Amino acid sequence: MFDIPWERLIYLLPAIIVALTFHEYAHARVAYALGDPTAREAGRLTLNPLKHLDPVGTLLLIVAGFGWAKPVPVNPWYFQGNRKKKIMAVSLAGPLMNLLEAVAGAGVMSLLWHFIRSDSGLMQGLLYFLFYYVQINVVLAVFNLIPVPPLDGSKILAGLLPDRSMNLVLGLERYGFVILLVLVFVPGLLVRFGLPRIDILGVLIGKPAFWIINGIYTLVGMG
């Protein structure tokens, strides 16, 4: 049904599973550290991928280049002090984890490339995995920073706004999935009706991800 070479899936699927799992684990860990036991009680304070993966979100990440996992439950009423800042911290944890994973993956790739050069199948497979791992993590980080509920970016934006505006942004969460679907399918519909294609997600995700990936490779000496 999807034109995806099976050879690519061998490397892509493990990269997606690891990236999504650590992203959600980071949310759960930071929330728990700030006093909210909700994620732990829901069994989400774990690195078991089965607790975090969402079938639809994982499939879309494979075929469309973006996706999501099951949202980690957070109850901000457990937070003491400045709840806004703590909600922002929990929300930032996932994207920041993905960026750290991307840097780590690129660093390992650089070490292998410069110091353990080999033409073996194992080495080539590992390099392919790391190549996809870096890309997936950066795309996940950028995608989740889009300020559309229920993505992390919406909660970060809400934390920067006055209370009234914050509630307005958070209130859009019930429509978040519909908004994301519109962003995905509008470009294709425009073309179908003979209108210019406006690739909204390409602008919001593709270009920033490209710049970040290039920056990370330059940082680790593979620019």
Q: So which residues are the catalytic ones?
A: 24
If you write DSSP's letter for every residue of 150-210 in order, what string do you get?
TSHHHHHHHHHS-HHHHHHHHHGGGGHHHHHHHHHHHHHHHHHTTPPP--HHIIIIIHHHH
* The two three-digit tokens of residue 30, written as one number: 């930071």
For residues 192 and 143, give the distance between their C-alpha atoms in angstroms, rounded to a whole number: 26
- Residue 107's identity, in one-letter code, is G
DSSP 37: -
Eight-class DSSP state of 50: G
The answer to whether 51 touches 25, Cβ cutoff 8 Å, is no
Give backbone dihedrals phi and psi of 205, rounded to 5 degrees, phi first: -115, -50
